A and B are shown apart, each in its own frame.
Chain A
Amino acid sequence: DADVTQTPRNRITKTGKRIMLECSQTKGHDRMYWYRQDPGLGLRLIYYSFDVKDINKGEISDGYSVSRQAQAKFSLSLESAIPNQTALYFCATSGRELQEQYFGPGTRLTVT
């Protein structure tokens, strides 16, 4: 079984709709992250969390919100989706001491 899972894997939604992307991990890591990837651009950080009570904005947090429901779960919400939020979204985790990140399989989101 995958250590980091994301649901849904693909989603098409309309402008103005609220959508939630979910991430779960079984790695026992404290740190979790949400990134988006657009063609020709590197992964960009949306939000990150170092533990359940710690939530921080990344470089492109506008239009997004997150919730850390438990150590193993970190969800990303788009309150009112817009077309330029069409992208590939990745969740990642890392341990407290180790620096490597481990990624989920991604959610391909299309906003029409």
Chain B
Amino acid sequence: RKEVEQDPGPFNVPEGATVAFNCTYSNSASQSFFWYRQDCRKEPKLLMSVYSSGNEDGRFTAQLNRASQYISLLIRDSKLSDSATYLCVVNKAGTYKYIFGTGTRLKVLA
């Protein structure tokens, strides 16, 4: 089993739709969780950190479910500019190790 797993997609959604991605992780000792956005052939950019209490930034909401060992990203009112690959990253506190998922590709259609 991969340490971090994501559905590769693509998720094709119309503008204005709400879309959600999940990411599962295998190590229950994981402490820090992140969502990054990566455009084609560009660097990953931090979208948001994921806190135990969940967090929201505009149209984006991230949740952590420790019992089931997954994190989620919800995007409301999708924009064409949201089209990208979304990477889930899990860090084990106190170690160097950042484990990257292979990403979920989102296409927002006009």
Contact = CB atoms under 8 A, between A and B. Distances in A.
Interface of A: 31, 33, 40-45, 48, 50, 56, 58, 88, 90, 99-106, 108
Interface of B: 4, 32, 34, 41-46, 49, 87, 89, 91, 93, 96-103
B46 A99 contact: no
10 contacts: A31-B96, A42-B102, A43-B87, A43-B100, A45-B97, A48-B96, A90-B44, A99-B32, A101-B89, A105-B42
B50 to A, nearest CB: 11
B100 A42 contact: yes
B49 A100 contact: yes
Nearest to A88: B41
Nearest to B34: A100
Nearest to B96: A48
A48 B98 CA distance: 11
B35 to A, nearest CB: 11
Contact of B44 (A41, A45, A58, A103): A103
Given A45-B98, A48-B96, A99-B32, A105 B43 contact: yes
B4 A50 contact: no
Contacts of A45: 96-98
A98 B5 CA distance: 24
A104 B46 contact: no
Contacts of A50: 96
Contacts of A90: 43-44
Contacts of A88: 41
Nearest to B100: A42
Contacts of A42: 4, 87, 99-103
